[in-house]
Amino acid sequence: MCPDCNRRLKAHSCYSRHFRDENGKRYYGWVAQVHCADCDTYPALIPDFLMPYKHYEASVIEAEIARAEGTGPPGLSSCQADESTVRGWINQFKERGARAAGWLTSILLDVYERHISAVKTRNKGLLDQLRRLAREFQVPADGSVIGNVNIILTRYNHGFL
């Protein structure tokens, strides 16, 4: 469904996209692009293990955010991204993650008429809050938190992390 007008999309094309793992190794994959005839847009269907406008896998970015929140594995990071890149991920996540938590809470209430007690998410890192909220939706259990949240947000036309 189109993220702008909620109409059916039609397959249009695909393009090659590169991404990197935690060691900085570059991989290539294909991203499908679809067309909405009603609003004349061409959204890309980015897989859940990638993030829009990011070159590293979502799991790598998520691990760095968890480490910054103090919930990741202790020790030095094995990520090969520049320190400034990692800081950018963390700062962007603080802003977009708080907004995403609000959207998920709103979707639960508006669509499913359910809510999550603030006690269950209070005093937790933002990544843990999102993990708890994402459990309320039907998404793959083995996916990354960021990937699952992006699936939910795009499904309900609320953007992405």
Edge to edge, the sheet with strand 10-20 lists 10-20, 26-35, 44-45
Q: Domain residues of the chain, as ranges? A: 10-155
Q: pTM of this prediction? A: 0.85
Look at residue 11 and give its three-state secondary structure. strand
Say whether pLDDT at 35 is over 80. yes
pLDDT tens by residue, 76-123: 678 899 999 999 999 999 999 999 999 999 999 998 888 887 777 777
Contacts 24+ apart (CB under 8 A), 145-148: 145/62, 146/51, 146/58, 146/61, 146/62, 147/48, 147/49, 147/58, 147/59, 148/48
Using CA atoms, how far apart are residues 114 and 147, in angstroms rounded to an integer?
A: 22
Which of these, 60, 18, 9, lies nearest to 36 by C-alpha position? 9
- Higher model confidence: residue 19 or residue 119? 19
Burial 56-76 (b: 16+ CB within 10 A, else e): bbbbbbbbbbbbbbeebeeee
Going by pLDDT thresholds of 50, 70 and 90, the confidence category of residue 3 is confident
